[in-house]
Structure 1
Amino acid sequence: MTRALRPAAAVTLAVGAAAGLSACIPPAAARPDTGYPWHTDIVATTFWVGEVFDPNASDGSQRTSTYDSDWLGSYGGCDGIVVGDDCRTEPRTPGSGYFPSAMTPLENPFYLDLPFDDVNDDTAYAARGEVVPWARRPAYASLVDDPSTSLMKNRWVALRKDGRVCYGQIEDAGPGEYHDAAYVFGSDDQRPVNTRYNGAGLDVSPALNGCLGFADLDGEDDRVDWSFIDEENVPSGPWTTIVTDSPVR
Structure 2
Amino acid sequence: MKLREQALLKVEPQVFVPTSSHPAIQRFPWKTSIVTTVFWVGEQAGGNNPVPNFRSSWDANWTGSYGGFDNPDSSARRNYIPVAFIPHQNPFYCALPYNDVTHGQFKPEAPLVIPWFKQAYTGPGQSVCQHHWIAIRKGNRTCYAQWEDCGPFRTDHFQYVFQNERPKPNLNRGAGLDVSPAVRDYLGLGPTDVTDWQFVEVRDVPPGPWRSYGENNHFVIARRQTEQRLAERSFGASKK
Q: What TM-score does the superposition give when structure 1 sets the normalisation length? A: 0.71
Deviation at 1:243, TM superposition (A): 4.0
Deviation at 1:121, TM superposition (A): 7.1
1:90 matched to 2:67 = no
2:100 corresponds to which of 76, 101, 118: 118
2:137 corresponds to which of 160, 167, 189: 160
1:100 matched to 2:82 = yes
SS in 2 for 1:197: coil
Aligned to 1:204: 179
Aligned to 1:26: none
Question: Would you say the 8 A contact 1:49–1:62 is kept in 2?
Answer: yes
Whole-angstrom CA distance in 1 between matches of 2:169 and 2:58: 20
Deviation at 1:122, TM superposition (A): 9.1
Whole-angstrom CA distance in 2 between matches of 1:201 and 1:192: 5
Whole-angstrom CA distance in 2 between matches of 1:92 and 1:192: 33
Letter in 2 for 1:230: E
For residues 197-248 of structure 1, give each alpha carbon's deviation from its aligned partner in whole angstroms, at most 9, with x where no partner exists.
Answer: 111001000000001111x2xx33x0100000001111111000024439xx
1:175 corresponds to which of 139, 149, 152: 152
Letter in 2 for 1:39: K
Report how many aligned residue pairs link the two structures.
Answer: 192
Structure 2 gap ranges (5+): 1-25, 218-240
Question: Would you say the 8 A contact 2:58–2:149 is kept in 1?
Answer: yes
Letter in 1 for 2:168: V
1:41 corresponds to which of 33, 38, 41: 33
Aligned to 1:239: 210
SS in 2 for 1:198: coil
Deviation at 1:54, TM superposition (A): 2.7
Question: Would you say the 8 A contact 2:90–2:216 is kept in 1?
Answer: no
TM-aligned CA distance change 1:175 to 1:244, over 3 Å: farther
Higher relative contact order, structure no. (Cα contacts within 8 Å, ≥ 6 residues apart): 1
RMSD between superposed Cα atoms in Å: 2.6
Moved segments of 4+, more than 3 Å: 121-124
Structure 1 gap ranges (5+): 1-33, 81-88
Greater Rg by CA: 2
TM-aligned CA distance change 1:41 to 1:122, over 3 Å: farther
Deviation at 1:100, TM superposition (A): 1.5
Deviation at 1:44, TM superposition (A): 0.6
Question: Would you say the 8 A contact 1:92–1:98 is kept in 2?
Answer: no
Deviation at 1:196, TM superposition (A): 2.3
